[in-house]
């Protein structure tokens, strides 16, 4: 039994060291990974990675509340342990909590299945301890994925969620408030999953950008929902996709 388990772990480790054998079209058509949700409804999912943060996250929550917007926060487990009150506030205000690993490692290299499971499970326990709820969405740091990750996350009861390629604000790199705003507004369309960060090293530009983005998208008639809510509005037969670009960040 031990030898069989070790053999499986070894094979999975080898698979994890390889680049994805299949691209977006393969995983999206199977429902293994979500980038966006084809829908006729004017819905957009705002997502925030890497938090919670005691300074940045509350400001973002205040803005979201002003526009009756619901978002999905992909939280880092070790930060949940530090700031449990913030994730409790997120949940209390109708937002969704999702798993973004415990220590924010990048899985583009050789990573063992055990390490991935530990990262996901530790964050799951942190969220459960802080809020009493269990997340079911997972976003790998940097957007790195492959078949082994899909297999492991499914086994743990998770769905991998990335983001719309045209809605990566790169706010973590502080490109300028105007660039963040233009990225979102110039590309907004139904079913988008927009990538923001509620924890940015140094001074964040995300809050100032949201103050401009939210009123304009609201004026255009968009409603802001969680990823799970957006998934309920999925249309069948998504449009054909082009080749898969390299992971971002």
Distance CA 31, CA 34 (A): 7
CB-neighbour burial class of residue 201 (10 A; exposed 0-12, middle 13-18, buried 19+)? exposed
Give the torsion through C-alpha atoms of 154, 159, 163, 169, to 10 deg: -100
Residue 197 annotated as catalytic = yes
Three-class SS state of 230: helix
Please identify which of the residues 49, 168, 192, 198 carries the catalytic annotation. 49
Start-to-end C-alpha separation, the chain: 40
Please identify which of the residues 95, 100, 104, 197 carries the catalytic annotation. 197
Residue with tokens 């300074």: 55
Residue 168 annotated as catalytic = no
Catalytic residue ranges: 49, 197
């Amino acid at each position: 039994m031990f030898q069989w388990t070790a053999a499986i772990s070894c094979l999975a480790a080898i698979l994890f060291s390889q680049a994805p054998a299949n691209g977006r079209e393969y995983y999206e058509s199977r429902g293994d990974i979500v980038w966006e949700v084809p829908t006729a409804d004017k819905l957009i999912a705002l997502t925030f990675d890497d938090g919670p943060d005691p300074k940045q996250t509350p400001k973002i929550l205040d803005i979201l509340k002003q526009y009756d917007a619901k978002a999905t926060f992909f939280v880092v487990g070790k930060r949940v342990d530090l700031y449990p009150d913030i994730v409790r506030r997120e949940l209390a205000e109708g937002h969704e909590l999702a798993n973004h690993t415990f220590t924010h490692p990048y899985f583009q290299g050789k990573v063992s299945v055990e390490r991935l499971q530990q990262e996901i499970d530790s964050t799951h326990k942190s969220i459960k301890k802080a809020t009493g709820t269990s997340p079911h969405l997972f976003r790998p740091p940097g957007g790195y994925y492959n078949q082994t990750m899909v297999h492991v996350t499914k086994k743990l009861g998770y769905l991998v969620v990335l983001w719309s390629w045209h809605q990566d604000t790169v706010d973590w790199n502080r490109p300028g408030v105007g660039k963040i705003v233009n990225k979102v507004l110039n590309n907004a369309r139904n079913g988008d999953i927009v990538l923001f960060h509620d924890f940015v090293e140094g001074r964040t530009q995300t809050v100032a950008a949201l103050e401009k983005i939210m009123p304009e998208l609201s004026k255009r008639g968009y409603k802001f929902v969680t990823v799970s809510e957006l998934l309920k509005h999925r249309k069948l037969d998504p449009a054909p996709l082009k080749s898969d670009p390299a992971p971002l960040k």
